[in-house]
Structure 1
């Protein structure tokens, strides 16, 4: 598999605090990668660096594009999204008063292909593009099992379905890499099992590379091919699920034991 994303000596400092320090990662096209670690280990900070929310203090984030490798560290989030990186958030961020369908459509405006004059004059180009957007948005909602609720307000969805809506909205940006920040948070075992199947389905259908932060170890060990482990902002281990389960440094980090 070809390398899609490379992280080299990546660090982020807040004042005198190093939130992440010297991170090196290599993500191959089509992989499903887990990012785990105790609370406060720096996982979400790393996601924020990779998706443009934070600017790195040091290091490189290189994305393979059609024009070759591109250094994306420090780019604005919308520019990183245009390059094919999308994410969900640990705390759900939906337009709660808008419909489920409109939440997904908002993520597709970069692809509509018409300008202000066409929108104001309601040209054929405008109507054709809007029809395409609606059909594609409905397809994403079918993928996540929310098509029948497409006209409901997002705020009326149960918690687990709001998580699914966030994933559908991320898909609507047509990503190459999908970052999922604790997608199973707050879910019961049945919902988590359904989410596991959903991630696998979406990955195959859309040829996605998936990187997820998750505290549910059963989900991580069942779906991830490789796992990176952070502790106190530093990478302490990487490998297959079996290798991580038996790694003494990982066991120490989770159990708080000295080795």
Structure 2
């Protein structure tokens, strides 16, 4: 398998608190990876480091792009996004006063090829690109089951559908890596089942590498090929779902016992 992401000795300090400590990971192209751990383990902080929200205190984050290794640690989020990295958030961050369709279209700005002059003068290239954007956005909404709600305001969607809209918007940037931060949070069992199927589907269709944070262990164990486990900011285990289930350090971490 070809490596797409290398994380080496990644550390993030907030004053005297070490939120992520000496973390290393190797992610291969096309993998579906789970990142688990108790509340406060540093999972979202790690995602924020990988996507440019935070700058690392030390360590390397290397993204493979066309057989070149690019050091992305410390880059601005938009620069990392332009390299093909997308994410959703633990707390949903939609444009609530925009429609479902508009939320997806706004994420496609980096793929638009017309310039300011063409937009002002409404040249043929403008209309051609806008038509493509609308068709692509509608295609993505069909994938996540929201096409019939495309003209609805995002704020009016029920919670589970807002999660799906976040995924559609992330797909709109045509990513190579998709980070999902607790995508099943707040969902009922049926919604979680449908979400599991959706994640599996989009990963296969769009040839994505998917890394997800999740507390729903049934979802993690069902779809993830490998799992990394964080506790108090440190990586305490990694392996297949079966290996993780039998790892005494992981069991103790979740039970709150001393390791």
CA drift of 1:112 comes to: 1.1
Q: What is the number of residues matched between the two proteins? A: 259
1:193 and 2:185 matched: no
CA distance in 2 between partners of 1:160 and 1:57 (Å): 36
CA distance in 1 between partners of 2:183 and 2:200 (Å): 13
Q: What residue number does 1:123 align with?
A: 123
CA distance in 2 between partners of 1:86 and 1:234 (Å): 24
Match of 2:257, SS? Answer: coil
Match of 1:93, SS? Answer: coil
CA distance in 2 between partners of 1:110 and 1:185 (Å): 29
1:182 and 2:193 matched: no
CA drift of 1:213 comes to: 0.1
Moved over 2 A (4+): none
CA drift of 1:67 comes to: 5.2
Match of 1:201, SS? Answer: helix
Note the aligned Cα RMSD (angstroms). Answer: 0.6
CA distance in 1 between partners of 2:258 and 2:127 (Å): 64
Structure 2 alignment gaps of length 5 or more: none
Q: What residue number does 1:102 align with?
A: 102
Which aligned pairs between 1:16-27 and structure 2 lie closer than 5 A? 16-27=16-27
Which aligned pairs between 1:21-100 and structure 2 lie closer than 5 A? 21-66=21-66, 68-100=68-100
CA distance in 2 between partners of 1:88 and 1:50 (Å): 13
Which aligned pairs between 1:154-165 and structure 2 lie closer than 5 A? 154-165=154-165
Q: What residue number does 1:242 align with?
A: 242
CA drift of 1:36 comes to: 0.2
Match of 1:186, SS? Answer: coil
CA drift of 1:257 comes to: 2.0
TM-score scaled by length of structure 1: 0.99
Which aligned pairs between 1:131-150 and structure 2 lie closer than 5 A? 131-150=131-150
Q: What residue number does 2:6 align with?
A: 6
1:208-245 deviation line (CA, Å, top 9, x unaligned): 00000000000000000000000000000000001001
CA drift of 1:256 comes to: 1.3
CA distance in 1 between partners of 2:218 and 2:146 (Å): 25
Structure 1 alignment gaps of length 5 or more: none
Which aligned pairs between 1:211-226 and structure 2 lie closer than 5 A? 211-226=211-226
CA drift of 1:258 comes to: 3.2
TM-score scaled by length of structure 2: 0.99
